[in-house]
Amino acid sequence: MIGIFDSGLGGMTVTRAIEQLCPGYPLLYFGDLIHTPYGSKSCEALTEYAIRNTEFLIAQGAALIVIACNSAASIAGNALRNKFSIPIIDVIEPAVNQAISTSKNGTIGVIGTQATIKSNVYAKNILARCPNYRVYSQACPLLVPLVEEGWLNRKETKMISKKYLQPLRCKQVDTLILGCTHYPMLKSIIQPRIGKRVKIVDSSIETALFLQNFLLQNKGIAKELAAQKANNRFFVSDLPLPTQSLAESIFGRPVHLEKVHA
Ligand code: DGL
């Protein structure tokens, strides 16, 4: 099974994209809602949560992990790869690849949580491959709580997004990486505020495409994963009030969320 985790609802945008682009592989999702938001946590705490989430998913039968969380991937991605021997894919490399090939003027904006932006992971990866590019990053710490609260179309969310995006707009970025898996849910708010000509790189879709390609190139692993016949399962470490309906609006169908102690 493919195990996918995030702090909360954000990773479900990745899961939905994986369901669509990689059908036939059973999925296990874990949303660590008791610890959300991850973006404001220390590196130690994030690493501990990421290890615990991975152990939980492996114990449920996961044979490949997708870190569907930029914050966990930027801080704990290497720690997970060192500790576990199964394949671990994350959201950073796929978004970096896409942004590099999308940008025409070499000026890329990145929005993400405090943890992701402080790690500078996107700028480091882009500049390592394209030293003449310019990367401007902006932390948007209020956006995850607004999404988890279901404030997807409120005037407050629009106002706060505008404030966060203004500095990147001034830098004339032509490509914007949504460096947090919660942000695809705000795409219709973000696009007009960053400018309609700016290409948005959605790490959810890019990660699902990356996984699709990984499975095509690793036929042994793909076969082993597909052979594990099981229904997709969605685990959460807590179930706050808006989560059920938001999960269903992401998937467009009823979703059974199982509350567990991970
Ligand atoms: N969706 C996650 C990310 O991509 C985590 C956001 C959070 O919990 O702060 O960073």
* Cβ of 144 below 6 Å from ligand 1: yes
- pLDDT band at residue 230 under the 50/70/90 scheme: confident
Q: Give pLDDT tens digits for 139-154.
A: 999 999 999 999 999 9
User: Hey, where are the domains in the chain?
Assistant: 2-90+205-259, 92-203
User: Is pLDDT of 59 > 80?
Assistant: yes
Confirm whether 180 is a catalytic residue: yes
Fold of 2-90+205-259: Rossmann fold (3.40.50)
Beta bridge partners of 136: 109
Residue 262 has what pLDDT?
76
Confirm whether 170 is a catalytic residue: no
User: Is pLDDT of 190 > 80?
Assistant: yes
- Rounded to an integer, the average pLDDT of 10-30 is 96
- Rounded to an integer, the average pLDDT of 209-218 is 97
Q: Give pLDDT tens digits for 72-120.
A: 999 999 999 999 999 999 999 999 999 999 999 999 999 999 999 999 9
Residue 184 has what pLDDT?
94
3-state secondary structure of 186: helix
* Cβ of 70 below 6 Å from ligand 1: yes
Q: How far is CA 206 from CA 17, 51, 256, 261, in A?
A: 9, 24, 26, 31
- Rounded to an integer, the average pLDDT of 183-208 is 96
Give the Å distance between the CA of 7 and the centre of ligand 1. 6
Judge whether 2-90+205-259 and 92-203 match in fold: yes
Residue 228 has what pLDDT?
84
* Cβ of 72 below 6 Å from ligand 1: no
Fold of 92-203: Rossmann fold (3.40.50)
Give the Å distance between the CA of 220 and the centre of ligand 1. 32
Q: How far is CA 252 from CA 82, 126, 132, 163, in A?
A: 37, 34, 42, 31
Residue 47 has what pLDDT?
98
Amino acid at 77: G
Instruction: Report how far apart the first and last C-alpha atoms of the chain are (Å, whole number).
Output: 18
**What angle, 0 to 180 degrees and rounded to 10, lies between the N-to-C axes of helices 92-102 and 70-83?**
120
User: Is pLDDT of 66 > 90?
Assistant: yes
Model pTM?
A: 0.96
